[in-house]
């Protein structure tokens, strides 16, 4: 396991542009998945409702903004991206702090594209279910 982990980090450290871009699109998947799940799915409904309430009624702006970030998939994806960059040591284009910065904003952008696409597909599926249900009710 240690050898696999070390090989993984070495490959991230020394990769060509094609590999970097491939990793960008791959790392955006768990980023989008985590951000969407926390901010939209039923499994986190109670903590999310608590955060929504606190983001609306807290007295200080810092407290309101802190709790708001757990309700907004775009905001939360930045923090998930920071976590992903920390555990993978992924850099884009440059092998210094600028590589982290470029990778971070690129990863957020791709992850939010994935989340928008997922939301669009979900709406389309929900629309189809409603139309199917109406057709079934007409036939009965």
Domain span at 129: 2-42+73-139
Is 116 inside any structural domain?
Answer: yes
Is 54 inside any structural domain?
Answer: no
Express each pLDDT in 9-32 by its tens digit.
Answer: 555 556 788 999 999 999 999 999
Is 33 inside any structural domain?
Answer: yes
Is 91 inside any structural domain?
Answer: yes
**pLDDT value at position 7?**
55
Is 47 inside any structural domain?
Answer: no
What is the domain count for the chain?
1
Is 89 inside any structural domain?
Answer: yes
CA distance 82 to 84: 6
Dihedral (Cα; 44, 46, 50, 52), 10-degree rounding: 60
Is the distance from CB of 57 to CB of 49 less than 8 angstroms?
A: no
Is 52 inside any structural domain?
Answer: no
Is 15 inside any structural domain?
Answer: yes
Express each pLDDT in 81-126 by its tens digit.
Answer: 999 999 999 998 888 889 999 999 999 999 999 999 988 888 878 8
């Amino acid at each position: 396991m240690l050898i696999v982990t070390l090989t993984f980090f070495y490959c991230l450290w020394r990769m060509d542009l094609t590999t970097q871009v491939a990793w960008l699109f791959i790392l955006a998947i768990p980023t989008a998945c985590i951000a969407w799940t926390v901010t939209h799915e039923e499994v986190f409904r109670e903590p999310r409702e608590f955060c929504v309430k606190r983001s609306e009624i807290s007295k200080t702006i810092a407290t309101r903004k802190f709790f708001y970030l757990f309700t907004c998939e775009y905001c939360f994806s930045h923090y998930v991206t920071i976590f992903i960059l920390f555990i993978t040591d992924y850099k884009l284009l440059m092998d210094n702090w600028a590589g982290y910065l470029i990778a971070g904003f690129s990863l957020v952008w791709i992850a939010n594209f994935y989340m928008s696409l997922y939301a669009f597909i979900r709406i389309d599926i929900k629309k189809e279910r409603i139309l199917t249900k109406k057709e079934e009710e007409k036939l009965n």
